[in-house]
Chain A
């Protein structure tokens, strides 16, 4: 793991790069107006992200994990500005970038954030040469004056990600999945950002290629002192790359803690369940008890703690009252059972 001091989540100050405060994003998925009137259907709102707060320190890797539909990708999109939050705020390097009046501020910091997407087949324009793909952020922001310099910079970027400058004349289809993801990384680095949002960057890749990409990302982080917001469903990958991990369930952060704490002493029952569900190569032949049930629909979430229908420790309070996050040790947990001391 990185030896950089692990920034506790409340510690503001010089080290803080990004802060999300009570971030919410609701989507209206109501049936069309006529259906609502004729069939008397109610409005339907999906609370994709419902009150998520976290801090990311400079040079840190903050990971969000959770199952499909938990809202982790929505958080990524909110942070880079692809969605506007319904409520809550985001500050980047002390600048508010999410409010109504923040459009200008967003413009100014946008070049310092970039995103790497999951599917390297869909995120590169098949009709563009690699040179143009990688040069796009440079040209769009007018970072370099002449074409010659742009070309030199593209060559340099491609070399950094383990490709050759000669590859810039090729089209995306001439590359394998892993190489395409390298191109995406080169493009993300083109504007010299200090913050990268990586949404499942390796989940479309084979494991041996995944290892190459993860190694490359760690190397680049060390070299350029990058900060990552890393979204993944794969806990082993998250363990490998992160300094701090947040576990999401139905639009909320249920637990967040420094990586070693979270994996060594998981507190929230959901985190425990996730960790227990991973097939472990070391313990071949072990018997495990799979947790019953599935993630409920976010349109109609359960009352109280959203995890209570699947939770072995749920009681009446869990069914009625939404838990709020409290600090225990250096982790934050939103669980009544932990608060009441029913679960250590």
Chain B
């Protein structure tokens, strides 16, 4: 493993484009997005279903399902490109340098193997340890993720664990080889709120202790606010806004983020009516030209319907919205 210079991001996504060729033409699910994650950082990726957030995560870990494909762009992990590696090379990176946690812990564990067998297998695949050493490490990991009575439970099968405990096992699996980056795709969506709180605080603690970076993909703004350092808001396969979590949550700049925040009910703020964004996110074959949000945006003008906005720095965040363009450019476009 190469040691990255201090200022180099751990993961860099440059101009990523993911396409699905179909009989009726090519669908662009992720369109020219760029992101980076620093070592030890938790980057939240938030958006509604179909925004392309999970696909971005799948592309990083090399698990895009065909016919989906990376059509353009680069994914760079610690200075080396990983998007064009052959299958076997990528397999070595997966689990070793990038771990993964998925939504449903029951389907991401093999029901036929005991937890110890799955952990030992993963550890031995990536680290040169004997079976005895691997088992000791597996036990250590289970204790670290907070499974009570780990000594006995290590030989249990996934169905003998509750949902929250299973998700802890999945986290232990992701941590097996001490990866520098974990892709967590909706890790708490299938869990109850009290268990969700436990899993979030566990993830945060582990990241801090191991200096592991996390790409936290979720639709839940609350989870992001609780866990992430920075957040990228996705809409129709593009990034609408990206910045430090406080800035995005409290002072949303993009009209979509703003509407999204207003549509979440808050305890303690009794309102007669929630802010609502009219309509729904366009289907992939119907993404409008210009800014994809323009048909639902209360402030859209001629320029929004014609020209795609690029991310630009506004204070601490980057926003893709023509609202923040220089006034001259706006008046020209309005003519």
Binding site for B on A (CB under 8 A): 1, 67-68, 176-179, 206-212, 214-215, 218, 233, 235-237, 239-240, 260, 263, 273-282, 284-285, 288, 290-292, 294-295
In the complex, chain B residues whose CB is within 8 Å of the CB of A284: 225-226, 245-246, 249-250
With A206-B219, A294-B162 given, is the CB distance from A233 to B193 under 8 Å?
yes
- Shortest Cβ gap from A208 to chain B (Å): 5
- Contact residues of B between 240 and 272, Cβ < 8 Å to A: 245-246, 249-250, 259-268, 270-272
In the complex, chain A residues whose CB is within 8 Å of the CB of B219: 206-207
- Shortest Cβ gap from B206 to chain A (Å): 14
In the complex, chain B residues whose CB is within 8 Å of the CB of A292: 198
- Shortest Cβ gap from A198 to chain B (Å): 15
CA distance A244 to B89 in the complex (A): 58
In the complex, chain B residues whose CB is within 8 Å of the CB of A276: 197
In the complex, chain B residues whose CB is within 8 Å of the CB of A177: 49
Q: Are B246 and A215 closer than 8 Å at their CB atoms?
A: no
A-B pairs, 9 with minimum CB distance: A279-B222, A211-B263, A240-B265, A206-B48, A67-B192, A279-B226, A211-B274, A277-B197, A290-B197
CA distance A52 to B231 in the complex (A): 43
Q: Are A68 and B225 closer than 8 Å at their CB atoms?
A: no
CA distance A208 to B101 in the complex (A): 26
Q: Are A215 and B194 closer than 8 Å at their CB atoms?
A: no
Residue B221 interfacial (CB < 8 Å): yes
With A207-B264, A212-B276 given, is the CB distance from A277 to B222 under 8 Å?
no
Partner of B48, one of A67, A207, A263, A273: A207
- Shortest Cβ gap from B185 to chain A (Å): 16
Partner of B193, one of A209, A211, A235, A263: A235
With both beta carbons as reference points, the residue of chain B lying nearest to A276 in the complex is identified as B197
Q: Are A240 and B274 closer than 8 Å at their CB atoms?
A: yes
- Shortest Cβ gap from A36 to chain B (Å): 22
* Apart from A67-B192, A239-B265, A277-B197, 4 more pairs, CB < 8 Å: A208-B259, A240-B274, A279-B226, A290-B200
Q: Are A285 and B246 closer than 8 Å at their CB atoms?
A: yes
Q: Are A279 and B223 closer than 8 Å at their CB atoms?
A: yes
Q: Are B220 and A279 closer than 8 Å at their CB atoms?
A: yes
Q: Are A178 and B220 closer than 8 Å at their CB atoms?
A: no
In the complex, chain B residues whose CB is within 8 Å of the CB of A1: 270
In the complex, chain A residues whose CB is within 8 Å of the CB of B223: 279
CA distance A215 to B278 in the complex (A): 12
With both beta carbons as reference points, the residue of chain A lying nearest to B296 in the complex is identified as A208
With A207-B260, A208-B48, A280-B222 given, is the CB distance from A236 to B265 under 8 Å?
yes
Q: Are A208 and B198 closer than 8 Å at their CB atoms?
A: no
- Shortest Cβ gap from A306 to chain B (Å): 14
- Shortest Cβ gap from B106 to chain A (Å): 13
- Shortest Cβ gap from B313 to chain A (Å): 21
In the complex, chain B residues whose CB is within 8 Å of the CB of A285: 246
Q: Are B266 and A282 closer than 8 Å at their CB atoms?
A: yes
With both beta carbons as reference points, the residue of chain B lying nearest to A204 in the complex is identified as B49
Q: Are B280 and A281 closer than 8 Å at their CB atoms?
A: no
- Shortest Cβ gap from A251 to chain B (Å): 16
CA distance A212 to B278 in the complex (A): 8
Partner of B267, one of A207, A212, A275, A291: A275
CA distance A245 to B149 in the complex (A): 37
- Shortest Cβ gap from B297 to chain A (Å): 13
Q: Can you list 16 A-B contacts (CB < 8 A)?
A: A208-B277, A209-B48, A211-B264, A215-B273, A233-B192, A239-B266, A263-B267, A277-B196, A279-B197, A279-B220, A281-B261, A281-B264, A284-B250, A288-B197, A291-B197, A292-B198
